[in-house]
Amino acid sequence: MTLYERFEAAFMPNYGVPPVALARGEGCTVWDVEGNAYLDLIGGIATSSLGHAHPALVEAVSKQVATIAHTSNLFLHEPEVLLAEKLRSLLGSDTARVFLANSGTEANEAAYKLCVKYGKQTGRSYFVATENGFHGRTIGALSLTGKPAIRDQFGPYPVDVRFVPYGDADALKQAVTEDCIALFLEPTQGEAGVVPPPDGYFQQAREITEAAGALLVADEIQSAIGRTGHWFAHQVEGVTPDILTLAKGLGGGLPIGACVSFGKILFDKGEHGSTFGGNPVSCAAALAVLDTVDLGHVEQVAAGFRAALEGVSHPLLKGVRGRGLWLALVLNADRSAGVQTAAAKAGFLVNALQPDAVRLAPPLVITAEELQTFVDALPEVLDHA
Ligand SMILES: *Cc1c(COP(=O)(O)O)cnc(C)c1O
């Protein structure tokens, strides 16, 4: 039996059978089990910030796992303190307080619970979230996820969530009343296809929630940690949310999530917890990521990459959207699966995110030369899609 057949026999079918089995990686290159090399332009879904086997990550994780790998929250440890302090400093906030989890959905679950608490304190009754928004697969996060195909069959949900079209400030104004607990918002929608809102939308969301007394929760699980060329996506518009959630890129591939509250509402003792959350190894990895990511490098290679992609003229390519090293190639037809397959054959890992959108979210350490190899190959990849 092949590895693919064994996978299919042993696992639930929720992922289908992924088309490539990866064996190892180094820098921005990964190799499959047959020994074929690929340039990694998806980075484990915007997660492998430092690429693969980066010396800083390897050293931090190896050292930490050999020192102490787990304490539980019965005991504190220095890496978690250093990480929370580092996040506060990057956020430039003295009021920010951190809760560490293991994943994105758990970070949102913490945010959701904080909001429920706020709703009870203030007598508010419903959430607002966006159509096509994605916040995770656990019940709290899923209740806020605006994708009927993955949401509806697991309801009903314990809270009332009202969905508005993404990017429509008037719809937000209508929906966010004085009875609204919180607005959950991605600064750019990720899973929906790397869809940025109109300029100023996030700022308007801040003003509208502020005026109604509702919390603004920024889900930056995919967009933060340098992905857009800024540490945090809300910094692009100079807006501070009430609660911020992080995960993907933070651990550089190790599991970690964070829920940051800027002080309007906090958990009191005993109100939340996680056995693995904030474990020393993941914290050491996150510290290595935050010490290594170079925003100047991201901005520089991203600008060149974007310009080069926009210079590619092909009947299947409609355009490019996104920001920093977080882009979607928008197609003129529903052929993203074909693009993904053709790209893999040509030695590039990309992600067929939507039928007409291909996601690129490479490691933040990728070089201009590496990115150029993809630009050069793109017309032929599109030909074969
Ligand atoms: C990936 C993602 C999540 C869920 O994170 P998991 O680690 O898969 O649970 C939530 N919100 C956004 C915006 C994401 O991109």
Which residue's CA is the nearest one to ligand 1's atom 15? 222
pLDDT for residue 341: 98
CA dist 113 and 244 (Å) reads 13
Q: Let me know if the fold of 3-53+294-384 is the same as that of 57-292.
A: no
Which structure tokens are listed for 109?
A: 């679950």
Which residue's CA is the nearest one to ligand 1's atom 10? 135
Which structure tokens are listed for 257?
A: 């999530």
**Pocket test residue of 42, 47, 102, 105 for ligand 1, highest count of atoms within 8 A of CB:** 105
pLDDT tens, residue by residue, 142-161: 999 999 999 999 999 999 99
Atom from ligand 1 closest to the CA of residue 136: 4
CB of 105 within 6 A of ligand 1: the answer is yes
Segments of the chain scoring below 50 in pLDDT = none
CA dist 362 and 340 (Å) reads 14
Is 3-53+294-384 assigned to CATH 3.90.1150.10?
Answer: yes
CB 33 within 8 A of CB 23: yes
pLDDT tens, residue by residue, 154-206: 999 999 999 999 999 999 999 999 999 999 999 999 999 999 999 999 999 99
Closest CA to 324 of 37, 46, 56, 1: 46
**Fold exhibited by the domain 57-292:** Aspartate Aminotransferase; domain 2 (3.40.640)
Atom from ligand 1 closest to the CA of residue 191: 15
Q: Give the count of beta carbons closer than 10 Å to the beta carbon of residue 327.
A: 22
CB of 204 within 6 A of ligand 1: the answer is no
CA distances for 97 relative to 88, 103, 242, 337, angstroms = 8, 18, 11, 42
CA distances for 87 relative to 95, 151, 292, angstroms = 12, 32, 14
**Token match 């209508």: residue?**
174
CB of 43 within 6 A of ligand 1: the answer is no
In this prediction the pTM is 0.98
CB of 134 within 6 A of ligand 1: the answer is yes
CB of 187 within 6 A of ligand 1: the answer is no
350: CB partners within 8 A, 6+ apart: 41, 42, 329, 339, 340, 343, 344, 358, 359, 360
Query: Where exactly are the structural domains of the chain?
Result: 3-53+294-384, 57-292
